[in-house]
Amino acid sequence: MQLIPRKSVPSGAEPSSGRGGSRPRSHAARASRIGIPVLAVTGLLAFSAAAGASPASTAARSVAPVPALSGPITITKQLPAPVSTTDCQADFGISCYTPLQYRTAYDLNPLYGKGITGAGRTIVIVDSYGSPTIASDLQTFDAQFGFPNPDLQIDQFGTIPPFDPTNATMVGWAEETTLDVEYAHSIAPGAKIVLAETPVAETEGVTGLPEMMNAEESLINAGVGDVISQSFGATENTFPGFSSGNYSSLLNLRYAFKDALAHGVTVLAATGDAGATDYESDGATLYPYRVVIWPSTDPLVTGVGGSQLYLNNAGDRLQPDSVWNDPYGAGGGGVSSVFSRPLFQIGVKNVVGSHRGVPDISMSAAVDGAAWVYWSFGGTGGPGWELVGGTSEATPIFSGIVALADQVAGHRLGLINPGLYALGALSQHGVHDGIVDITTGNNTFAGVTGYNATPGYDLASGWGTIDAAKFVPALARLG
């Protein structure tokens, strides 16, 4: 994918490395640096303030938020420590959240109190290139929030090129890797994390995906992993042959998911950060009509969409969640052109019609409600703390939820979609096993009319979101 053309740079900000070259595409969306955005890794938005300065004194404060479509503009220094939601609202004009707030919001603490931490389970995270500092960055992240030491294993599939801090693509994937690993670990602190690094940057179309699918298949066949988290993807329309109705270039990549099904491994994927549309082959232009991205549309995968949370400093909800839709992006959702409606969606055929619909579930992804991450690799103005968002945040969060359910069940849950849709249907009949409906908002974005959140299943939020204290044991029972 080509670098997104830069726009004018606000005072106090510096552009990321020049045009030309490629930019990482992570499923959820593109990365948007908070307030001054966009990086193109599935939904990173990062806001940086001058290191050592109090939030109120930062130059970033005077920079007006720029929508993700405006290009990759970054501030070169990060914050020395996370600040409160109240301070973020006052100084940056957005809400920001820590993993401790998510633990309260998603009702995870009762599970931790019972020893349900994901112990004995393994989350596999797949990213191009990885991050050269992820092991030490995760330890710094854990120390900040009092999390236990991580069990992190890094596997390289092929020869990973040396990290180049002047290469925007590599920096973007390092940011994506950091988000994925830190938030999967924060939700399932007892789970082992295996980071699978691949040597080719995934972009629109097929590029980079064979290496990722090979890595997944290799781990599955080796018995490694209970749940796979994928914060990457490509618009279905960008696969060769799509325009002529030949979907073989996409379908030929499904072997890892078929292998996962046979071995009982759960596979997740972000649905994208551009609402009801997504990017063309150039990686910079949005389709002017509704599209969706694979692998989230694959029936063997659970598609994770984006929601916006409204929390106080303690993590208590001030109002119900809505569909993520802010100036930076919106939760991906819609109907596949490639896959027909799977059996588990027959109960929502009035919504999806004859084809596979996504998302299946939604978790926190909004830039106005961004998550704190820590990284120290070069090319970001770091080391320091930044804010990120997108469905590439939502997906590793949900991978942690699945790991908790695996622990409760005592085994892998495999394809969770049938159970998830059963819980969703029951929730519409007064049985509340942890499905929390999202009924406000839509994923209209960049002039493309999207879908409204409604009671029950919809193409903006799926079944909504979760109350983990109820959802985790309910999902485990169905598995």
Indicate whether 373 belongs to any domain.
Answer: no
Indicate whether 276 belongs to any domain.
Answer: yes
Indicate whether 7 belongs to any domain.
Answer: no
Indicate whether 64 belongs to any domain.
Answer: no
CATH number at 247 reads: 3.40.50.200
Successive 10-residue mean pLDDT values, the chain, 479 residues = 23 28 37 33 43 33 36 49 95 94 98 98 98 98 96 97 96 96 98 98 96 98 98 97 98 98 98 97 95 98 98 98 95 98 98 98 96 94 91 97 98 98 96 97 98 98 98 95
Indicate whether 40 belongs to any domain.
Answer: no
Indicate whether 355 belongs to any domain.
Answer: yes
In terms of Cβ atoms closer than 10 Å to its own Cβ (0-12, 13-18, 19+), residue 319 is exposed
Which pLDDT belongs to residue 77?
Answer: 52
The count of domains in the chain is 1
Parent domain of 291: 97-365+389-478
Indicate whether 128 belongs to any domain.
Answer: yes
Indicate whether 467 belongs to any domain.
Answer: yes
Q: 3-state SS string over the chain?
A: CECCCCCCCCCCCEECCCCCCECCCECCECCCCCCCCCCCCCCCCCCCCCCCCCHHHCHHHHCCCCCHHHCCEECCCCECCCCCHHHHHHHHCCCEECHHHHHHHCCCHHHHHCCCCCCCCEEEEEEECCCCCHHHHHHHHHHHHCCCCCEEEEEECCCCCCCCCCCHHHHHHHHHHHHHHHHHHHHCCCCEEEEEEECCCCCCCCCCHHHHHHHHHHHHHCCCCCEEEECCCEEHHHCCCHHHCCCHHHHCCCHHHHHHHHHCCEEEEECCCECCCCECCCCCCECCCCCCEECCCCCCCEEEEEEECCECCCCCECCCCEECEECCEECCCEEEEEEECCHHHHHHHHHHCCEEEECCEEEECCCCCEEEEEECCCCCCCCEEEEECCHHHHHHHHHHHHHHHHHHHCCCCCCCHHHHHHHHHHHCCCCCCCEECCCCCECCECCECCCECCCCCECCCECCEECHHHHHHHHHHHC
The answer to whether residues 142 and 190 touch, using CB atoms and an 8 Å cutoff, is: no
